[in-house]
Amino acid sequence: MRDFHLPGRSAVFAENGMCATSHPLAAKTAVSLLEAGGNAVDAAIGAAILLGICEPQMTGIGGDCFALVKRPDSDEIVGLNGSGRAPAGLSADALRDAGHTTMPIHDAAAITVPGAVDAFCRLHGDMGRLDMAEVLAPAIRYADEGVPIAPRVAFDLQESGPFLQGVAKDHYLINGQIPTTGQVFRSPAQAEVLRRIARDGRKAFYEGEVAADMVASLNALGGPHTEADFAATACDYVTPLRNGYKGAELVELPPNGQGATAMLLTNILSHFDLPSMDPFGAGRAHIEAEATKLAYDARNRFLADADHCTRLAHMLAPETAQSLAALIDPKRAMADPKALSESVHKETIYITVVDRDRMAVSLIYSIFHGFGSGLASDTFGILFHNRGAGFSLEQGHPNEAGGGKRPMHTIIPGMLRESDGSLMPFGVMGGAYQATGHARFVTNTVDFGLHPQAAIDAPRAFSEPAGLKVERGYDPSVLQALIDMGHQAHVPGGPIGGAQAIRIDAKTGQLQGASDPRKDGCALGY
């Protein structure tokens, strides 16, 4: 139970419906759509698109999305891959000939065709209840009237704002300056695009004037994109992956997302007696960091477009996790996980809504880096993501850049079925951190019995190539102990990720919402 003497958040309880997301206006919008007779799909789409106005550095209609949906009155969970493909003309050879050894980040070459709008329209057409005009009305209103910049958004803008280029500065800065807390951000050009989508569906975005604006803008920036690339964009329903963990079941999407990385991580961690460790001590943080290194090395080797990913079974095999776990020294950080694991492999914004009928949506929607590519379309100011940066330029790699391929994605929605039957749609934002964030949320919940809100509040650490990030929520002695183990441990300038969750209690049927204090948002029910 929470100590009410200390700052913190209470979990939110409700019975009729709930949303947990990273901005209060989006949570309110989702609940309002539920109250108006919409279902979880309507509410998730309406609020997600609004988040592109509330948090324009994080997401927008120029990005991609993925979703898991539990159907009402059923245990069936369906997956939707709403990630776009590279334009047909993208060539890894041409990029290598130009001197690139890795994908450029703030360049037209990193811009794959945005897939989110197609996915939203497909999901709404197949499962939504309200008219699309009703679903998009709040986002259109706020795009026209504006949204005050929230504190966490302002913090992020200071870091990501300098990456805006060209006309993107005109659309996303205010009087040429990076917006600050309380200033009102408006996007009337995006409001017009949303009105057209509300009226004419996906073709309003992928064909006609809006598509022509995007293609002409990309061509002027050196991109090989064509209107045919945009018209051909299509999302895919996919069968979710399911993986057991100590009586619970983790549900993730298959590649090209990194959900399999979270599963490999939990498989590795299952070989350690986590419950015997201090949940916020150096021992657990060390084991998690070492498992992360090995799991992410596997991700980088194997994960790619589903049509090119051939080693998924190996990655998720129990013996793979067992062999990788055996490489971990409980007292010392490994120097070179890639070389160490060679013997094993030998041969790679989030919103959740639950409605009255217990339809549950776990949806993640992103433009990748802060402000994506930093590039926007001239007329409508559609900010382009840079998901193509997820491609490899290593010749022959399954994730090698190529026309018509989907790149490896970091964004992953999740669901957790607990041992008592309770279902929890959840997600963890934070780029590459997301797979580790999923595994940490699962182990916080399963191994340490933390309520979803406590599991989200808990301090985080993340091992990446530059070293081990350790949040200030850890005792300073933990940081020193990790340094003594050989980690390049340091306190980062900002928090690690952000999470949201809704628990559907199997016994009472009640909804329990949890929202990350690292973000501006909240869980809200009715």
Q: What does the domain layout of the chain look like in residue ranges? A: 17-237+351-390, 258-341+429-525
Would you report the helix, strand and coil content of the chain in percent, each value rounded to 5? Answer: 40, 20, 40
Three-class secondary structure of residue 498 per DSSP: strand
Cβ(57)–Cβ(156) below 8 Å: yes
343 pLDDT above the threshold of 60: no
| DSSP structure class, residue 311 | -
Spatial distance between the Cα atoms of 218 and 221, rounded to a whole number of angstroms: 5
pLDDT value for 7: 86
Percentage of residues in the chain with pLDDT exceeding 90?
Answer: 95
CB atoms within 10 A of CB 194: 27
pLDDT value for 73: 84
pTM of the entire structure? 0.95
pLDDT value for 346: 44
pLDDT value for 348: 33
| Matching CATH number, 258-341+429-525, of 3.60.20, 3.10.590, 3.40.1000, 3.40.50 | 3.60.20
Report the chain's mean pLDDT, rounded to a whole number. Answer: 96
pLDDT digits (tens, 9 = 90+) for 204-221: 999 999 999 999 999 999
For every residue of 157-225, DSSP letters joined together read HHHHGGG--THHHHHHSBTTB---TTPEE--HHHHHHHHHHHHHTTHHHHSHHHHHHHHHHHHHTT---
pLDDT-derived band of residue 116, with 50, 70 and 90 as boundaries?
Answer: very high
Which residues are 400's β-sheet partners?
392
pLDDT digits (tens, 9 = 90+) for 453-511: 999 999 999 999 999 999 999 999 999 999 999 999 999 999 999 999 999 999 999 99
pLDDT value for 344: 67
